[in-house]
Amino acid sequence: MTDLSGLKVGDKVYIRPSSPMTRPYLSMVERKTPKQIVCSQSKRFWIANGRSVDGGEWHRSFARPATEEDIRAIEDQRVRNSAMTTIQRERLSSLSTDQLIRIVAIMAEGDEG
């Protein structure tokens, strides 16, 4: 469990939902009370242990101060998801043969790594 007493309004927090189907995300401390922090979207967490105030046992989230690595990883995931969506929506049949060959070469590089 994480003590959140050192957080201030405006600090970023890394929120890890208990569900394996939901990805971690970043939020910002909007308000602080003696026992809780209130983050964006009105999510509340106990300062003493970082557990979400609401949600019950099955839908509990956990918060901790966000590190630079957390921020970078979540931003990288956001950029990757955006790129994947763009690729999935692209009509590959509209690309030239040269463009398709370059895409295949890039995919082959990924298979090697």
Burial letters for 72-95: b for 16+ Cβ neighbours within 10 Å, e otherwise? eebeeeeeeeeeeeeeeeeeeeee
pLDDT digits over 36-90, tens only?
999 987 789 999 999 999 866 667 899 999 999 999 999 999 999 998 888 888 7
Q: How far apart are CA 83 and CA 27, in angstroms?
A: 23
In which element (H, E) is residue 75 found? helix 68-89
112, β-bridge pairs:
none
Grade residue 113 by pLDDT with cuts at 50, 70 and 90.
Answer: low
Contacts of 26 (CB under 8 A, 6+ apart): 12, 13, 14, 15, 66, 70, 71, 74
